[in-house]
Amino acid sequence: MTGRPGVTHRPAFRRRDVARAAILSTALVAACGSPSEPTAGPQFEVMEQTIPELQDAMAAGRVTSHELVEQYLARIKAYDQRGPGLNAMISLNAAALDEADALDQERASGSVRGPLHGVPVVVKDNYDMVGLPTTAGSVALADWYPPDDAYQVARLKAAGAIIIGKTNMHELAYGIETISSLGGQTRNPYDPTRNPGGSSGGTGAAVAANFAAAGMGSDTCGSIRIPSFHHALVGLRGTRGLSSRDGIIPLALTQDMGGPLTRTVTDLALVLDATVGRDPADAITELGEGNIPSTYTDFLEPGALAGARIGTLDFQLGTTPQDQPVRRVIQAALDAMEAAGATIVALEIPEIPELLQGASLERWEFETQFAEYLRTPGTPVGSIEEILDAGLYHEALEARYRRSAAAPGLDDPEYLEIVARRDVVRRHVLETMADQQIDAIAYPTIRRTARPIGEPQPGTNCVLASVAGLPAIVVPAGYAADGMPVGLELLGEAWAEGALVRLAYSYEQMTHHRRPPHTTPSLDAPRQTTWEWVATGADHVPPVDTAATARVRLTWSAATGELGYDARAYGVMDDDMLFMHLHRADAGEVGPVTLMLSRPGEARGAGSVVLTQNQRRAFEAGELYFDAHTRDHLNGLVRAQVGPPPPTTAP
């Protein structure tokens, strides 16, 4: 029997018809809800709960695994197709509640499998899983039900994790904006007008939005690390051979790695413990023998930055004006590390930028290795050419697919030269790190924050770790001037995952940069809030002696970022009115227009607008003011500072 590429095929289980009934597409969930119509329970809040916190709550009887599944499903129902419409999930596991019940019974009988027992997680939809289709976001694979679980999926299940659903991804993992012919466009919960990174963007958005405790992605050139960067998450690309690729649809097996995306370094260590190690079906994992610790939690050491030596490469930090907002955040992270006792060392490896040009292997390996995966009995298509001929792909992928389809074979001299170049890159990096006694090289995973949907995402630094086959971890580093998350990537020597966990944990515990997105708040939070202000001439800057006033009513939805407005001026004729605006400035100051609320000749304006991340931040910080401009008072007639009132504190 022909097996998956690079792995030994396991015995196939017969596909059961009931598996089809187990699938709940996000469209069905949006229309009908999940099978039991889950609602958020009042006793326990899942928002931002870590895996140890969930485990402690279940051990204390404050929540059951069944209730956790219900609450995460309720959040998916509220925010995936509704609210901000993240579109992160591609299918849900209809058996999740039954699996939770079985794990609750195990716990009640005194048997707990480990830290993941009863914990809901999500996996990227290029991981095989019995009972759910493995589509990789492609309509060509919409009806492909694999015969067995991917190795890492099987390990998660054995550890007691509940896979509540599979996440959208950039189609066949061939891109970094997460758009697919089956799943559509996933949105970034920090700003739904922007992309979530990719190709594991659905996992990134789902974990950031608290749709599960953790998620699994895959990384060929940044596909775990870029979504982690864009979502204030922790993500790891391990040393080649750390974890099995068995049952993950390949993009380029020389570079492919599966691994976790989590909200904390602790959670990452726990998921790593459950998923790494030798798999007889994937010979590359033999490289991990003797290199994997008994548990990565042994490396959770605060204060580990003291005495560390952190290297930087200037070309990775960004040299163009467009790179500077991210570079400033990374520089602040490096300054914080230095203040904690680390030494920052500027490195020079002159050969590296040129060696990395064209060194990623997706174009060369995809067609051949994907075709080998498709030889698994029962797959509905047999090659990328067949998908192209049938038009079963998203138009955004056509050029990449055709380049791969036209690529020479894996015995082509150019391909062999690129493969050999990878060894040169690895040697240069490791020699430099050894000479300078460097513990890790630090840089931004990508040099630009998430771009608006429909625009290309430039600035990736994914290539170095992928080409060198070295481990790299991403940890939240803060937020750029546009309010979007920025992640710090640390690259280490081969099999230095533990050392990277140690450094990332130390930085995380020192800074605590992670904050959840505003668009997916607790389900107990108010959905809409309305405030009203009276604008007067006395409040204008400078004051205006006028009897005219205006009333401004704003209705705010934190989940969608939508601001409804109704502004009416009194004591002003329509013909005299020029504009009504929201400006950006603190109280007592003047600043630029950020939103227009009415047109010339209108003393009333009403409507709604979805705020950008910067506008939202200014509104919630009280940095917007309403101003009405008339023909006699071009600089403004009446004013009111607007924004949510500050939270009250108990005496």
The distance in angstroms from the start CA to the end CA of the chain is 72
Structure tokens at 546: 């006028």
Residues 613 and 590: their CA atoms lie apart, in Å, by: 21
Nearest Cα residue to 202 out of 216, 213, 191: 216
Q: Is 271 exposed, middle or buried (0-12, 13-18, 19+ CB in 10 A)?
A: buried
Asked if 11 contacts 383 with a C-beta cutoff of 8 angstroms, the reply is: no
243 in catalytic set: no
Instruction: Find out whether 162 and 54 touch, Cβ atoms under 8 Å.
Output: no
Q: Which residues of 65-98 are buried (b: 16+ CB within 10 A; e: fewer)?
A: bbbbbbbbbbbbbbbbbebbbbbbbbbbbbbbbe
- The residues near 267 (Cβ < 8 Å, ≥ 6 apart) are 50, 51, 213, 214, 234, 260
| Catalytic hit among 124, 180, 228, 466 | 124
Closest CA to 387 of 182, 216, 527, 539: 182
Helix then strand count (H, E) for the chain reads: 19, 22
Q: Is the torsion defined by CA of 30, 33, 39, 44 positive or negative?
A: negative
Q: Are 165 and 38 in contact (CB under 8 A)?
A: no
Question: In terms of residues, how long is the chain?
Answer: 651
d(CA 144, CA 132): 9
Question: Which tokens go with 408?
Answer: 């020479």
Catalytic residue among 181, 223, 506, 557: 223
421-457 per-residue burial string, b: 16 or more CB within 10 A, e: under 16: bbeebbebbeebbeebebbbbbbbbbbbbbbebeeeb
Type and span of the H or E element at 529: strand 529-536
Residue 157 annotated as catalytic: no
User: Per the residue annotation, which of 34, 65, 91, 199 is the catalytic one?
Assistant: 199
According to the 3-state scheme, what is the secondary structure of 479-516? ECCCCCEEEEEEECCCCCHHHHHHHHHHHHHHHCCCCC
Which DSSP category does 12 fall into?
Answer: P
Is 166 an active-site residue?
A: no
Torsion of CA 281, 282, 283, 288, to 10 degrees: -120
d(CA 249, CA 372): 10
Residue 53 φ then ψ, to 5° = -65, -40
Place of tokens 């668009």: 519
How many CA atoms within 13 Å lie on the side-chain side of 614? Answer: 9
Active site residues: 124, 199, 223
